[in-house]
Structure 1
Amino acid sequence: MKTLRLLLILPGLGAIAWGAVLFAEYAFPLSPDVFGTLGWLVGGPLVHDLLIAPLVGVAGLALSRFLPERWKTPVKTGAVLTGVLTLIAVPLLWRPFGGAANPGLHDADTVTGLLVSLAVVWAGVLTSVLRRNARGQVGREVS
C-alpha cells in the first residue's frame, strides 16, 4: 500500500515542480502582470475558503433543515446546477470577452442564456417535486 501511495505521490510532486519552474520563468524578471497573477493565485483560494464555501455550507444546511423531505434532493440538485452554470458564465458576465475566443460564443447574449438555462433547471426541479408528490398520493390511495 505504501508503494502504491508513493507511486501516486511522485507524479503529483513532479507536476508541482514543473508548475513552479513555469511560474518562475513567467515571473522573473518582475513585471506588473506578475503581481496581478499572484493576486489571483492567492486571492482565489482565500475568497473561496473564507466566503464562498461557508455560504454554500450554510445554504445546504438550511435547505436540509427546512425543506420537506420530497423537496430536498431536487432543490439541492437545482442549487448545485445553478452554482455551476453561474460559475461558467462569470467570465463572460464580468467582461464581454473574458474567455478565450470561441466562434459563436461571444456574439451570444450571456445574461439571457444564463437566465434561460436557470429557468430550465428550476422547471425541472418543480417537475420533479410534482412527480414525487403525485407518486406519493397514488401510493397512499392504493394502500
Structure 2
Amino acid sequence: MTAIRVLLGLGGIWLAWYGIDLVLEQDSTSLMSTARWFVGGILIHDAIVAPLCAVVALLARRLFPASWWASIAWGGLCTATLVVVAVPVVQRSGAVPGNPTILDRDYHTGLLIAIAVVWVVVGIDIARRRMRRPPAPHATTERSAQP
C-alpha cells in the first residue's frame, strides 16, 4: 500500500511540475490572463459562492426536515455543476455568425430541463426515503399500566 501511495505522490508531483512548466512557457499576456482567472476564481468563490452556499444551507436546515438534507444538498451540487458547465454555451461565446452549426441548439431550455430532471429525482429520493422510514412509535404512558 505504501508503494502505491509513493507512486501516486510522485505522479502528482510530476503533473504539478508539468502544469507549472506549461504555464511559465506562456507569453506575458497569456500569463497575466491565466493569473487573473486563477485569482478571480478564488475571489469569486470566497466572496460570493461560499457565503451564498452557507446561507442557503442554513435556510435549508431550518426549512426542511433532517431526512431531506442529503437529497437537497446533492440536488444543489448537481444544479451548480450544470450551471457552471453550461455557462459557455448559454453565453454563446463560441458562436460563429457564418457557421450556424456551431452552438445550434436552445441551450437555455436544455439547461432548464436538466435542472428540472435533477429536482424531480430529488423529489423521488425524498419520497422514497419517507416510504422506507418506519412509522414513529406511538407514545405510551407507563403510568396507565401501573395500578
Pairwise same-fold verdict (TM > 0.5) = yes
State which structure, 1 or 2, has the greater radius of gyration over its C-alpha atoms: 2
Using the TM superposition, give the Cα deviation of residue 129 of structure 1 relative to its aligned residue in structure 2, in angstroms: 2.8
Q: 1-side partners of 2:7 and 2:127: how far apart?
A: 50
Q: Superposition pairs for residues 1-143 of structure 1, below 5 Å?
A: 7-27=7-27, 30-31=28-29, 33-97=30-94, 106-136=103-133, 139-140=134-135
Higher helix fraction (1 or 2): 1
Q: Mind listing any 5+ residue stretches in structure 2 that lack a counterpart?
A: 96-100, 139-147
Which residue of structure 1 aligns with residue 98 of structure 2? none
Q: Mind listing any 5+ residue stretches in structure 1 that lack a counterpart?
A: 99-103
Give TM-score, length-normalised by structure 1: 0.70
State the secondary structure of the residue aligned to 1:38: helix
Task: For residues 77-127 of structure 1, give each alpha carbon's deviation from its aligned partner in whole angstroms, at most 9, with x where no partner exists.
Answer: 2212111111111121233428xxxxx772111110000111112122223
State the secondary structure of the residue aligned to 2:48: helix
| Alignment root-mean-square deviation, CA | 3.1
Checking the alignment, whether the CA contact within 8 Å between 2:71 and 2:125 is kept in structure 1 is: yes
Q: For residues 140 and 13 of structure 1, do their structure 2 counterparts lie closer, same or farther at Cα, with a shift above 3 Å needed?
A: closer
Checking the alignment, whether the CA contact within 8 Å between 2:24 and 2:31 is kept in structure 1 is: no
Checking the alignment, whether the CA contact within 8 Å between 1:63 and 1:72 is kept in structure 2 is: yes
Q: 1-side partners of 2:132 and 2:2: how far apart?
A: 50
Q: For residues 70 and 47 of structure 1, do their structure 2 counterparts lie closer, same or farther at Cα, with a shift above 3 Å needed?
A: same
